[in-house]
Amino acid sequence: MIPYTDESLLGYIKRRSDAEGFPEAKGFLTMLGQTYGRATVEEPERLALELGLDLATMEQILPAKQPMDAALDWSFHRMHRDPVCPACIAARQPRRKEWRHALVTACAEHECQLIDQCPGCGDDLTLLGDGYAECLCGTSYGDANAVPAGPFETEFAKLIAGHSAHMGGIDLGSEEGLHAARSVWFLCANMDRARTGKEGKATCPQSVAEARTRLVRVQPLLIDWPKAFDDHVIERWNTQGAEGLTAATRLGAWYRGLLGQKGALAEALLTRCLIVVSTVCGDAYKTRRHQDGASWMSAAHAGEILGMRSERIVEAVRAGVMEGSQGRSGTGHLHTIVRTQDIEEVREQRKRSATKEKVRNTLGVSRKQFELLEEARFFGAECRVSPHPCVDGDFNLKNICAAVDEIRQVARVERARADGMVAFRKINLRRTTDRNAILRIYRLIADKKLRAVKFAEGDNLGDALFDAAEIDRLLQVHGGARSWTAGDVAEFSGWKPECVTGWCEQGLLQATKGKRGSLHVWQITEEALSQFYREFHVVSDLAKEGKTTSRKLLASLADRGISSVGSQPAGTSSRGHLIRTRDIARMIAFPPS
């Protein structure tokens, strides 16, 4: 036995209970070792296993905390009664899932009122205390009179059942049921006051009669549209003790709650509320200073739409960047209004814009390299958006990604050789000291004249691989003389880093002070290193070639009147001795007698 289409979970359980011969559903669930309540929602696997259903089938009728179906919203799930439609029971139709919604009081198909009391004995139809189609007293629920439901009850039931409905002056599609139910609940809850005197604190109705009473109160607001709703807003505006000149201050929590609603019905309610406030109540949203026919909203409402602090909007109006009007109420509060059209434009701009940090993370480059990219105008004007105080960042991330994709599409797609490739993120001032050469390289890449060797789909720009030899050749062509740090020179020459640093400090190896990242380093050009090779020989290299020691070689040179330069102390000894080339040449030309 499987559930019918649109059958409620509890209705299915009672139908199974009747088939198993149990007079009431409670005994059937007890036999299964199950209960009906929160555990049913949080642990559906156990119940599905006991009922012999696969989980996917049961989830179609299972109440949930965040459902797609309005009838299965656990927030409004009935937990005191299990009402039925007498016409459905008489026609042997299943108990429908929308009857379990706490505000549904009518059958969407037969347009008659639901009953939650036995027509025979008068007992309440509780969750588990009766059978599928009849009471324990033997009375069939189909014998009850089918009383026609009110127009609003019927429209609301249709909406929860997944059909279209008409309320609030608009046609609502089946997909609007979830949001519309919450908006109706919002209106109902604010018709009553809790024990503390606050509105909006009502609990779910426990019976159909109680739910019908609540719907009757809001029925005029949504059926007699818009007059009844207009009167309701005006009544709230004129409530004794209300202060302020804007909806946010004068309507208070009710207006803020309305702002928090979603869906087409909530949008219709809010739009109508603002019209009433501006045209009837004299709100500052619409003043005689604006006769252009545009619609206006408060800075607070605009902040809600944009997801930002309203103070930024107020400041934009004060600075003249955004068109608006400002005035003070009798209490001294500054009221700011802006055009709805402008807010929509700002919202679209915020969707397109991105900060430098977000762009850097997307490209996979460092802050310093990104500054060089900007200097090289790597991305065109279409990748920027006009700066605005209400927009975070002035980069168009979508267009930037499109530009990177164009660079990816012209990649040569060759087999990458790890030893001959250089990633884009490493083509920076660590590779050369010539800033102009780096900028020129970036322009060549941006113009797609210098193509990547490998730029896979999904890689960011920093991961793109280029031919290292080609990069070095272009750096030379465009004036980018190769330079190294003292550590780089030590690495490929085999000399100790402290020796190279010492020669730089003594002026023997021409170098300039610079920064690589956050470090202060010596920068040595190719010309300077070539000059050093011509002027000096490193004693340790000469000793190694002569298969002797530096100490013996220095002693031999001293006997010939040749002294070393450039040495630095190292404990009780010294290192980094250099012999001038001219001294060696003189020694060869004039050997000792």
**Contact criterion met (CB below 8 Å) for 48 and 12:** no
If you average pLDDT over residues 348-352, what whole number do you get? 85
29-33, 401-405, 428-432: least confidently modelled range: 428-432
Separation of alpha carbons 171 and 186, rounded Å:
19
Q: Say what the pLDDT of residue 182 is.
A: 94
> Residue 287: which pLDDT band, with cuts at 50, 70 and 90?
very low
Q: Say what the pLDDT of residue 330 is.
A: 41
If you average pLDDT over residues 1-20, what whole number do you get? 92
> Residue 319: which pLDDT band, with cuts at 50, 70 and 90?
confident
**Contact criterion met (CB below 8 Å) for 82 and 125:** yes
Q: Around Cβ 492, how many Cβ atoms within 10 Å? A: 8
Q: Say what the pLDDT of residue 486 is.
A: 87
The DSSP secondary-structure symbol of 206 reads S
Q: Say what the pLDDT of residue 290 is.
A: 44
Distances (CA, A) of 471 to 50, 165, 342, 515, 540: 70, 67, 48, 22, 34
Cα dihedral 116, 120, 123, 127 in deg (nearest 10): -50
Q: Identify the helix (H) or strand (E) that includes residue 515.
A: strand 512-516
Intra-chain end-to-end CA distance of the chain, in Å = 119
23-37, 190-204, 228-242, 454-468: least confidently modelled range: 190-204
> Residue 350: which pLDDT band, with cuts at 50, 70 and 90?
confident
Radius of gyration of the chain (CA): 41
**Which two three-digit tokens encode residue 129?**
């205390």
Q: Nearest 5°: CA angle at 493, between 487 and 497?
A: 30
If you average pLDDT over residues 270-287, what whole number do you get? 69
Separation of alpha carbons 119 and 129, rounded Å:
15
**Which two three-digit tokens encode residue 123?**
């007992």
Q: Say what the pLDDT of residue 293 is.
A: 53
- Residues 158-213 have pLDDT tens digits of 999 999 999 999 999 989 999 999 999 999 998 876 555 566 667 889 999 999 99
If you average pLDDT over residues 537-555, what whole number do you get? 91
Checking if the pLDDT of 151 tops 60, the result is yes
Q: Identify the helix (H) or strand (E) that includes residue 444.
A: helix 435-446
Q: Say what the pLDDT of residue 502 is.
A: 93
Among 312, 240, 226, smallest CA distance to 273 is for 226
Checking if the pLDDT of 263 tops 90, the result is yes
- Residues 382-396 have pLDDT tens digits of 888 888 888 888 898
**Contact criterion met (CB below 8 Å) for 450 and 472:** no
Checking if the pLDDT of 216 tops 60, the result is yes
- Residues 557-580 have pLDDT tens digits of 888 888 999 999 888 889 999 999
Q: Which residue has the higher pLDDT, 295 or 62?
A: 62
If you average pLDDT over residues 119-141, what whole number do you get? 92
**Which two three-digit tokens encode residue 131?**
């059978």
* Helix, strand counts (H, E) of the chain: 27, 16
Among 274, 318, 316, smallest CA distance to 296 is for 274
Q: Say what the pLDDT of residue 193 is.
A: 65
**Contact criterion met (CB below 8 Å) for 147 and 121:** no
Distances (CA, A) of 445 to 147, 460, 464, 506, 547: 78, 14, 11, 41, 50
Separation of alpha carbons 518 and 190, rounded Å:
61
Cβ-Cβ contacts under 8 Å for 8 (sequence gap 6 or more): 61, 94, 95, 96, 97, 99, 100
If you average pLDDT over residues 510-520, what whole number do you get? 76
**Contact criterion met (CB below 8 Å) for 489 and 529:** yes
